[in-house]
Amino acid sequence: MEQLQSLTTPFKGLEARLKAFFDSRFWQFKVLFLSLAISVSTLLVFNFIFVDRGFRDLYQEMRHPGSIGGFFWDDIIKQGADPFTPKDYEAGSHEANQTFRLTVPLIAYALHLNVAGLYLLHVIVGLVFLWLVIQITYQILQNRLLVFYFLTGFTAIYAGANFYINYLGHADVFPFCFLALAFYLRNPFWMLLFTQLAFWCDERAIINSSYLGLWFVLPMLKEVIETKQFRLKQIPLQAAALVVSAGLYLIVRHWLSSTYGLKIGHDNALSHRTTWWSLSILGDKFTRGFEGFWLIIFAGMAVLVMLKDWLTFGLLLGCFMATAAISIMVADGTRSLSFGYMIFFFMLSTLRKHIPVSQLTYLLIVSTLISLMLPISFP
């Protein structure tokens, strides 16, 4: 019986061509635009009606701001013009939750943006975000092909595609980008600045900044456990800056509430119904959040268990459970899970150190192919 070729044979030929293509001083831009070309193409194939109707409505919203229900670009612009006056929005609505999300409205006001200008800025910030993801993942993986495989899949899920596909005006790419800037720059001052900008974009950035803090605190904790000694100077300045930033946010938010009467319009009954609804479709809700990239998380966690690195496993699981809990409590589960995108940096770091490059390559390829085939669904 004739022996068939390995299923990996086509990928070996592809890798040879990709290595030559990325052998350039501008390889980051090649990775960025080739990844987007692939993921956008598949999105148009599998989500064509969704995309077509959505961008037709976005065009109408640009021509007639506030005319399309469920679009929030014009609300952001109006909030920027009058950010400290309490608004009478329906309790539990997205608009009611926007009260303390001031960064993007104030940017729009400072730059005198209309709906079209704000969406264009949204796209530009998204490209900066993806460039940062390339830089961060290359620092971890030290392999251009692996970065390409990861980014292609990342731009096929909501976390990496929201900057152009979310035409509704949730503006999630701003906190995503600010958190990535804090992670990439690492200087305590920049961490303080960019986490502040992220926190005032969306409260979920505070919860998910736990990954950012863990990245810097984890080596210290391991050293303390190994040496059984602790000194205050061991505390990373980045972690201290993050704690100061969170405290500053809470203080200023309390001051805004007491001074201007600002508050979020909660609807407890709606929250309870949403939680039970989320639990009833938990598998579907979680799948839509990370799609094929769940394989990266499962593989990384499995490696930590095999290494018996219970400290890293437990702390990462704790961070993720906080992300998951928020996504269950709200209707926009895909968006909420995507705020935890920094878990992938931990998983890639673990996998790169402890499994062969060939296995990591095929893991990323399979994760990416699944994500490319699954249509993006949000919020």
pLDDT tens digits for range 181-203: 999 999 999 999 999 999 999 99
Instruction: Please tell me the total number of residues recorded for the chain in this structure.
Output: 379
Q: What is residue 96's three-state secondary structure? A: helix
d(CA 21, CA 25): 11
Higher pLDDT, 345 or 289: 345
In sequence order, which residues have a C-beta less than 8 Å from that of residue 293 and are 6 or more positions away?
A: 153, 154, 157, 344, 367, 371
Residues 12-38: what's their mean pLDDT? 92
What would the two tokens of residue 112 be?
């005198």
Angle between the N-to-C axes of helices 115-141 and 73-81, in degrees from 0 to 180, rounded to the nearest 10: 100
CB 95 within 8 A of CB 123: no
d(CA 239, CA 245): 10
**pLDDT tens digits for range 345-368:** 999 999 999 999 999 999 999 999
Nearest by Cα to 344 from 44, 137, 84, 48: 137
pLDDT at residue 279, rounded to an integer: 81
CB 301 within 8 A of CB 313: yes
CB 341 within 8 A of CB 209: no
Residues 211-239: what's their mean pLDDT? 94
Indicate if the pLDDT at residue 26 is higher than 90: yes
Residues 131-145: what's their mean pLDDT? 97
pLDDT at residue 319, rounded to an integer: 97
Nearest by Cα to 376 from 23, 51, 4: 51
Which of these ranges, 213-217, 286-290, 317-321, has the smallest mean pLDDT? Answer: 286-290
Assign 378 a pLDDT band (cuts: 50, 70, 90).
Answer: confident
Residues 304-311: what's their mean pLDDT? 97
Indicate if the pLDDT at residue 211 is higher than 80: yes
Alpha-carbon torsion angle 320, 323, 326, 330, nearest 10 = -120
Assign 264 a pLDDT band (cuts: 50, 70, 90).
Answer: confident
pTM score of the predicted model:
0.94
What per-residue string of b and e applies to 298-316 under the rule 16 or more CB within 10 Å gives b? ebbbebbeeeeeeebbebb
Assign 5 a pLDDT band (cuts: 50, 70, 90).
Answer: low
d(CA 129, CA 155): 11
What would the two tokens of residue 341 be?
């995108």
Mean of pLDDT over the chain = 92
Assign 379 a pLDDT band (cuts: 50, 70, 90).
Answer: low
Residues 104-117: what's their mean pLDDT? 97
CA distances from 190 to 26, 63, 131, 206 (A): 26, 38, 18, 16
In sequence order, which residues have a C-beta less than 8 Å from that of residue 44 and are 6 or more positions away?
A: 51
Q: Of all residues in the chain, what percent carry a pLDDT higher than 70?
A: 97
What would the two tokens of residue 17 be?
């061509």
pLDDT at residue 285, rounded to an integer: 82
pLDDT at residue 14, rounded to an integer: 82
pLDDT at residue 6, rounded to an integer: 64
CB 137 within 8 A of CB 347: no
CA 187 to chain centre: 21
